[in-house]
């Protein structure tokens, strides 16, 4: 089974937080699952390694996570779901000038990860359940993480 690994899980490992989610990743490793992540996950992790790509690559290799490029199908799905999100997000009004301000709770990178997981993988391993449940409802969570 090919599993998309979300950035949140890898940061949990680095910070030693949310043990249940770390255990799911280690369970996937024990089962020799095919672990993958889109390039955007690499970019999101780079600050954790202070820009040291050698250390980041070593971490990913140690956890047998293959970084793969986003393809047109993945970004198309991501873009379609992103547009749906943008239509739903609430606008808030500036109390001083009355100008409507858009509120943004999620980043486009979350949608890229969801698009990649949906088009290129069988499941996703994530701790960020809200966005994937709401905008990628057909996505399967690895070991019931959704």
Q: Look at residue 117 and tell me whether its pLDDT is greater than 70.
A: yes
pTM (predicted TM-score): 0.87
Q: Which of 28 and 89 is assigned the larger pLDDT?
A: 28
Rg (CA), the chain: 16
Q: Look at residue 103 and tell me whether its pLDDT is greater than 60.
A: no
Which residue, among 75, 9, 88, 93, has the nearest Cα to 48 in the 3D structure? 9
At 6, list the tokens: 């979300």
Q: Which of 98 and 69 is assigned the larger pLDDT?
A: 69
Residues 6+ apart with CB under 8 A from 64: 29, 35
The pLDDT of residue 91: 60
Domain ranges of the chain: 2-144
8 A C-beta contact, residue 100 and residue 119: no
- Give me the CATH topology for the region 2-144: Rossmann fold (3.40.50)
Q: Look at residue 97 and tell me whether its pLDDT is greater than 80.
A: no
- Percent of the chain at pLDDT > 90 equals 78
8 A C-beta contact, residue 1 and residue 122: yes
Give the C-alpha separation, 128 to 132, whole Å: 7
Instruction: Summarize pLDDT for 42-74 with one digit per residue, the tens.
Output: 999 999 999 999 999 999 999 999 999 999 999
C-alpha pair distances (Å), 133 with each of 32, 85, 91, 97: 26, 12, 22, 36
């Amino acid at each position: 089974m090919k599993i998309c690994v979300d950035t949140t899980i890898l940061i949990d490992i680095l910070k030693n937080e949310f043990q249940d989610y770390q255990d799911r990743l280690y369970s996937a490793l024990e089962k020799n699952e095919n672990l993958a992540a889109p390039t955007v996950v690499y970019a999101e992790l780079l600050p954790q390694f202070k820009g040291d790509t050698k250390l980041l690559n070593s971490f990913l290799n140690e956890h047998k996570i293959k970084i793969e490029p986003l393809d047109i199908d993945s970004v198309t799905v991501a873009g379609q779901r992103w547009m749906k999100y943008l239509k739903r997000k609430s606008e808030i009004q500036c109390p001083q000038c009355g100008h409507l301000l858009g509120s943004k709770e999620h980043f486009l990178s979350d949608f890229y990860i969801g698009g990649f997981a949906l088009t290129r993988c069988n499941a996703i391993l994530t701790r960020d359940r809200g966005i994937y449940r709401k905008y990628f409802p057909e996505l399967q969570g690895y070991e019931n993480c959704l």
